[in-house]
Structure formats: C-alpha cells, structure tokens
Structure 1
Amino acid sequence: MSNHDSKIACDTHGNSNATFICQHLASGEGLGFNLGYGPDNPDELCPDAWCDKCEEVLDAEGEWNDKSEAFADIKVMCEHCYEEIRDRNWIQDDDVYHNLVTESFAFIEPRHKEFLEMYNVGNYERWDWYQETGRLVFSNNGTPELEADIHFSGSYSTASESWMWAWANSSLDEKVKVSSRLIKELGEDLDLKQLVAGRWIGTEVDGWEMTSVLAKAIDAIGVYRTPTSNGFIYMAITDVRWLEK
C-alpha cells in the first residue's frame, strides 16, 4: 500500500521518514489503530495504519481494492506525527496493561533480589556486553569473573524521552533482540500499545516495566541496564555463571 523508503518535510518536525495512515486517523481521536506490517519488514517502526471503520470496509472487501482504498484515502505523515496520531487513536484496556506490569514486577522482584545478593553484581568495577554472543561480563582488576546470558528489552533515550523496543532497533544484533518480539506478539494479542509500538514517549521507569514484562515471559532471573551516550540499554538475564580465573 505504501513506500516506506521515502522522506517527508514536516512543518513541525522537519525532515523525517514518511508514513502512511488513513484519512480518518489524521484528524480523529479514539478511532482505533490497525497496523499493516509489510511481509518483508515485520519489525517496521511505523507500519501502515488505518482506523476501525477502514478495517470494517477492508474485511468486507477482503483486500485492498478501489473501494477500500478510496474509503481510506491514505495520507502521508512524518514518523513523529504518526506516533502522536497513534497515541491519540489507540484504544485499549488500561487495566489489562497495569495488571500485566504489576504481575511482571511481582515475578521478577524476588528473583532479581536473589540474583544481586548471590553474585554481588554491584561490586564489580566493569561490565561489558557482547551482542554477537548475547552475554554480559563483569570484571574486577581487568579480570572477567562473572558471565550472564542477556536478552535486550529495549532502550530509553533521555534526549527524546522515548522508549524503543529492541526488535525495532536496526542497530542491534538478532542474538540480543529476538526475545523482545515475544512481547510484541503478546501486545498484539492483548491490544496494548506499549507492547506493540516500536517507539513511544515514556520514562526510565517505563524501561524497567517493559523489561519486567520480558523477564516474566522468558523466565529470567534478573534485570539490568547499562548507560549509553544518551540514555540506557535495558536487558533481562536468564543465566549466570562464574568464570575460571
């Protein structure tokens, strides 16, 4: 339905990636937000989107054709306008979201406490993670002493005050981000924007919440975050072991 390799000059946000939404979403509120991921790009940050009324017409027609496309009357928006429109139109049960976060915290909190106490993680001089192996290594005096298996949940940018899921970050290796797609699938089942949207405005606390959801999904034993030049990378830990000195 659209070409996502194009750019657009937005009066508000400047030059940005082009996205495509139905005419109703552009000026609407609470109209529903249906996503159409391209088969060649299932990790697309801003997939084509249309409202619930357009979804009804699409279902009736069985495909995108002259009638369904005329009803949708697709508009081009920059990716930042897209995210604002998505937040304005997405419909979900917030109780489901809050219950999920609460249950996830309850799951990981005692495990994480035990992990910290057993391995004294806070006492190491240095940490290094390696995307190609999916491992986090803690060292003292230049000697690696502890190694953990990690799964990135996502990253938080202090510059844009936004959370980005690992699956939506093209700079990350498949090894460390593949597990995050489980949460995207869960979000699609529960219709939860925070789990489905690749990037959204949030806080550092949201980063811990999303990481706890991943931790519960993959039966993690702890969570961790490391600083970046403009924020943090969050991860769940599934296994840990001492290294021979």
Structure 2
Amino acid sequence: MSDEERNVECGVHGSSAATFICQHLQSGEGQGFNVAYDPEQPDDLYPDAWCDQCDAVLEQEGEWNDRAEAFADICVVCAECYCQSRERNWHEDEETLHALIAESFDYLQAQQDSFMATYRIGEHKRWDWYQETGQLIFSNDGKPAVECAVDFVGTFSSHSDTWMWAWANESFLELVKARSRAVRELGESLDFLKLACATWSADPVDGWEMTAVMARQLGAIGSYRAPSERGFLYMVVREARWVS
C-alpha cells in the first residue's frame, strides 16, 4: 500500500495517516478507549480503537460479526483526530499517575546526583551516542573519559510539540529501544495513556517525567538529554565507567 493510500484528508488537520475508531469515539467524551494490537504490527502508532459500549457488544458476540460491526460503525479519521478522541475518552486514575511520576522523580533525582558527581558529567568537553553499541561516551580533546551503557526513552519534537516513545520510533535500533517497552507494559496494566501510547501532545517536562518513570522501572543509575535539530532525545543510563 502506498503512502497516499494510507493517508486520509482531514478538513481540519489536512493530510495525515488514516486511523480507525468506532462511531462513539469520534464525537464522544468519557466513553473509554479500547485498542486492538496487531501481532504483526506490535508497535503501531494508532491501533484500531473502540469504546466501552462496543467492547461490551464484542464480548457478548465473541467476535467482530455483523451485529458488533454495525454497532461500532467504524469510522476513518486522521491521526490528529484519533489522538484528540483518545484524550477525550481515555479513562485513567490521574491521582495514581501523578503519584507514580512523583515517586519516579524522587528516585531519579537521587540517582542523578550521584551519577553526575561520580563521573563529573558536567565537566567533559564532548558527548556522543552510538545506537550500534548502545553507548553514550563523554570525551575530552578526542580521548574518551566516561563510557555509559544507555537505553533510549523517547523523543520530544519541538516542531509538533509531541512525545514519541523509543519503542515506536522506526529510526532507532532494537538494541537501544527494546527496554522502553517495559514502560508500555506498565502503562497498559495501569491504563495510563502517556505510558501505554506511542505518541501524544507534550512538552519538554513530559520528557523528563517519562524518563524518570523508565529510570525507576529499569533501576537506572542516571539519565541524559541530548539536543537535536527537532527537539530532544532522552535516555537512561544502566551503568557507567571511567575509560582510564
């Protein structure tokens, strides 16, 4: 299928990826948001979605048959409309989410203070990261000083003001993004949109919050944010050592 066939023209947002949601999600609010993960596309940015009412009918029928499909009346919408619908309809315990983020920040701050002091992170002249080896290296005058094993958390785009988890980023190698799926699993188990979904509207603070959650989840010893032309790349540090 060509890129043009995968896109839909939205009267509000222009040309965008075509996504599929039930009729109730299209204009509803607080309807619940259930998604169908395709085992052949486990990292799909916008999996097909339907509301709690449709999910109840689907459970009664046991499959997507004529009755369930007629009740859902699946609509084609653009990616931006999909994300807006998801935010309107998603159910989550905000108090529990905020507590998780706060606890994660406390964890990362303690680890980060030790990491920065032990390896003098703010004093080195240069840093470079390498996907092929999963390393972040700090150096001085062309000589490596500190070598870190890292996992990518995700990226914040200053162009679109969105967050994307590393596991959903096709430009990242599996070596550096695989462990970010641990946060997705946590988000799915607790029904937290920001942890479970590939991409959503965000700001740089969201990037640090997601980094803190992943650091705590993986037991990281620190974190690092690398600037890019389009925003920032966030990563957590599993281990570090002085090269010499």
TM bucket, shorter chain: over 0.9
Alignment coverage as a number of residue pairs: 241
Instruction: Map Cα deviations across residues 4-61 of structure 1 (whole Å, 9 max, x no partner).
Output: 9621111111111100000000010010000111110111100000000000011111
Q: For 1:167-182, list aligned pairs within 5 A.
A: 167-182=167-182
Distance 2:212 2:117 in 1: 19
Equivalent position SS for 2:44: coil
Equivalent position SS for 1:45: coil
Is 2:45 aligned against 1:36?
no
Contact 1:43 1:168 in 2 (8 A): yes
Which residue of the partner structure matches residue 83 of structure 1? Answer: 83
Distance 2:194 2:147 in 1: 31
Distance 1:99 1:61 in 2: 38
- Counterpart of 2:94 in structure 1: which amino acid? D
Is 2:162 aligned against 1:162?
yes
- Counterpart of 2:51 in structure 1: which amino acid? C
Equivalent position SS for 2:104: helix
CA RMSD of aligned residues (A): 1.1
Distance 1:139 1:5 in 2: 47
Which residue of the partner structure matches residue 194 of structure 1? Answer: 194
Residue 220 of structure 1: how far off its partner (Å): 0.3
- Structure 2, gaps ≥5 residues long: none
The two structures have a TM-score, normalised by structure 2, of 0.97
Distance 2:45 2:99 in 1: 26
Equivalent position SS for 1:41: coil
Instruction: Map Cα deviations across residues 46-86 of structure 1 (whole Å, 9 max, x no partner).
Output: 00000000000111111111111111110000111100111
Which residue of the partner structure matches residue 92 of structure 2? Answer: 92
Distance 1:97 1:182 in 2: 16
Which residue of the partner structure matches residue 120 of structure 1? Answer: 120
Which residue of the partner structure matches residue 68 of structure 1? Answer: 68
- Counterpart of 1:52 in structure 2: which amino acid? D
Which residue of the partner structure matches residue 210 of structure 1? Answer: 210
Distance 1:164 1:6 in 2: 20
- Counterpart of 1:230 in structure 2: which amino acid? R
Equivalent position SS for 1:42: coil
Distance 2:93 2:193 in 1: 10
- Counterpart of 2:78 in structure 1: which amino acid? C
Contact 1:5 1:17 in 2 (8 A): no
- Structure 1, gaps ≥5 residues long: none
Which residue of the partner structure matches residue 102 of structure 1? Answer: 102
Instruction: Map Cα deviations across residues 122-176 of structure 1 (whole Å, 9 max, x no partner).
Output: 1111111111111101110011111101011100011111111111111111111
Q: For 1:37-56, list aligned pairs within 5 A.
A: 37-56=37-56
Contact 1:186 1:195 in 2 (8 A): yes
Distance 2:91 2:5 in 1: 28
Distance 2:5 2:64 in 1: 21
- Runs of 4 or more off by more than 3 Å in structure 1? none
Which residue of the partner structure matches residue 144 of structure 1? Answer: 144
Identity percentage of aligned residues: 51
Distance 1:132 1:65 in 2: 46
Contact 1:139 1:145 in 2 (8 A): yes
